[in-house]
Amino acid sequence: MIELKHVSKSYTAGVDALKDINLTINDGEIFGIIGQSGAGKSTLIRCINMLERPTSGEVIINGKDMTKLSTSELRAERRHIGMIFQHFNLLSSRTVYENIAFPLELYGTPKEEQKKKITDILELVGLTEYKDKYPSQLSGGQKQRVGIARAIVSDPDILLSDEATSALDPETVKSILNLLKDINRKLHITIIMITHQMEVIKSIADRVAIIEHGHIIEQSSVLDLFTSPKTETARNFIGSVSSNTLPEGLKNYHIHDERENADDHIMMRLSFRGDVANEPIIAKLARDYNLEVSILYGTVDFIQGVSFGKLIIDVSGSDSNITAAFNHLHSLPIESEVLGYVSGNI
């Protein structure tokens, strides 16, 4: 288990990069930390392996406070933490095999043990036939596979990923994320993903924390984040992969905050998940509560095998029926939000 307790990091120029960070990351999970450039996420991940020493607070890994270890003790603990980078950081004069061997050489691992470990890792990352090639002969995705192999060849408990997919094309990103999920499952390695890409979080993470201006402003399961975001920043990130906006043809309609006329329609957003996503919610509202309901926008998607959906609907009917229908919606595992009122029929 990884625990960050009241971690802060300040620099001599008076810049507060991290402010009172509190996180718990469970063994074996894939934990995402997302934020815009300059939010503090790279500083945070470097505090976990103590490449950056926090100004205050505790970084506890498997019961040991990393901030209190001596230099030699810290060096020994870092053997259990692998790291992969955005720009690969490979040694250009070494082959794929030799790049992967590098940390084993530093730890004094015997040659025969090195050979077995590297052979197994090459097979796991799909690079067996590339073992004698140099980085200049590899694609970006292949280079990142070498970086991943080098990071896990020493059998770490934790793998830190600092924007490891942001320099890759979308198809390669998918293959690298699939590889990381495979590594997490087969080797039971805890993975911490630092990223500004919501698609990465959606594809791979179990839980996620959003960092902004050095603060953790929201944290939850990825499914909860998508179906019930608490902050505007979270909604903006989600909007990058799952739009909440109205279709272009409806953007010209004037939506007002208050009802101006008795016949105004209500425009609202519904977010739902699991079994509810497969239920005839709209048909039930229209049938049981005598409402006119029009679907203006809708999506159904999946996160980790669980379906979730969003609808933007236009609702009209008597006030009493609308109130009864809304009470019904509130009894279901559905998030509902009134966006405003629209005059007349859309």
Which of 70, 69, 66 is closest to 46 using CA atoms? 66
Token pair 């505790």 is found at 58
Domain ranges of the chain: 2-239, 248-342
- Determine which of 10-14, 156-160, 257-261, 317-321 has the lowest per-residue pLDDT on average: 257-261
Phi, psi of 321 (to 5 degrees): -70, -40
What's the whole-number average pLDDT of the chain? 89
Cα–Cα distance for residue pair 35/163, rounded to 1 Å: 11
Produce one character per residue of 148-185: b if its CB has 16 or more CB atoms within 10 Å, e if not: bbbbbbbebbbbbbbbbbeebeeebbeebbebbeebbe
pTM for the predicted model, two decimal places: 0.85
Superfamily of domain 2-239: P-loop containing nucleotide triphosphate hydrolases (3.40.50.300)
Cα–Cα distance for residue pair 67/64, rounded to 1 Å: 9
Q: Could you confirm whether domain 248-342 is CATH 3.30.70.260? A: yes
- Determine which of 47-56, 151-160, 235-244 has the lowest per-residue pLDDT on average: 235-244
**Fold identical between 2-239 and 248-342?**
no
SS3 for 121?
A: helix
pLDDT at site 8: 96
pLDDT per position as a tens digit, 171-186: 999 999 999 999 999 9
